[in-house]
Amino acid sequence: MRLDNKNIIVTGANRGIGAAIVRELLKHKVGKVYATARKIESLPDFGDKRVVPVALDITNAGQVASAAEKAKDVHVLINNAGIATFTSLIEGTTDAIAADMNTNYHGTLGVIRAFVPVLQKNGAGLIANVASVVSLAPVPGIGGYSASKAALHSATQSLRTELAARNIQVSGIYPGPIDTDMAKDFPMEKTSAESTAAAIVKGLIAGDDYIFPDPMSAEVGQLWRRDPVALEKQLAAPLDKAA
């Protein structure tokens, strides 16, 4: 999809991949970029008048409706907001598991449902959901997060078919470990948020349904297409070795 003069909303734009996506979009001839965060004051100064700050907690239905009303000229929705409690399905609390699902799946779906009429009214639209490589196969020690992202992956596939008749494209984004606050405690090689954002925007412009924006995720994507069971075993291997 060409981004020239397109108005775009990016959720969770206050840091990490979200902030990097906003900065990458501003390198293009886009129209407005609505940058959302739970607290507007947490948003960085992007130094560009095209950026419109929006307060948005995606689990708050009232704020979601308000954002859709404020950003009613949007053509592209990039769902990046999410949380990670890194909770075991057995040893973690049910509240933590529910928090992952409520934000990453239910919250994102709520935003999509609010913005579909907006995108449809404004012509051909695009929805891009930032999932994760663990959407495709879980890392057992973080089963709550993995399950919430798997649900988002499944919804992305369903919406791709359901919204095609409305001329709305739906893309899934599946990053691996990225050098952000969320992944700072993971002892593995990480890709920069900036290069990840550049690959994401490139994939959106190309019209890719599946975007694997870093070297690790590209390998995961290839294995997932070829042998999903082998991918499951590969992502479980670090846990097996630690046991």
Identify the pLDDT of residue 124.
81
H or E element, residue 170: strand 168-173
Most confident among 7-11, 178-182, 185-189 (mean pLDDT): 7-11
Say which residue, 148 or 243, is predicted with more confidence: 148
* Domains of the chain with CATH codes: 8-242 (3.40.50.720)
Sorted by sequence, the CB contacts under 8 Å of residue 148 that are 6+ apart come out as: 100, 101, 103, 104, 105
Q: Name the average pLDDT for the chain.
A: 93
Region 203-209: what's the mean pLDDT? 98
Phi and psi dihedrals of 77, rounded to 5?
Answer: -115, 120
d(CA 76, CA 8): 5
> Which of 60, 76, 84 lies closest to 148, judged by CA?
84
What sign does the CA torsion over 151, 159, 60, 84 have? positive
d(CA 182, CA 8): 24
Region 64-88: what's the mean pLDDT? 97
**pTM for the whole structure:** 0.93
Identify the pLDDT of residue 190.
61
Residue 239 has pLDDT above 70, yes or no: no
> Which of 124, 141, 157 lies closest to 224, judged by CA?
157
Residue 169 has pLDDT above 70, yes or no: yes
Residue 141 DSSP one-character state = G
Region 61-72: what's the mean pLDDT? 98
What sign does the CA torsion over 111, 14, 5, 161 have? negative
Residue 14 has pLDDT above 50, yes or no: yes
Identify the pLDDT of residue 140.
83
Residue 46 has pLDDT above 80, yes or no: yes
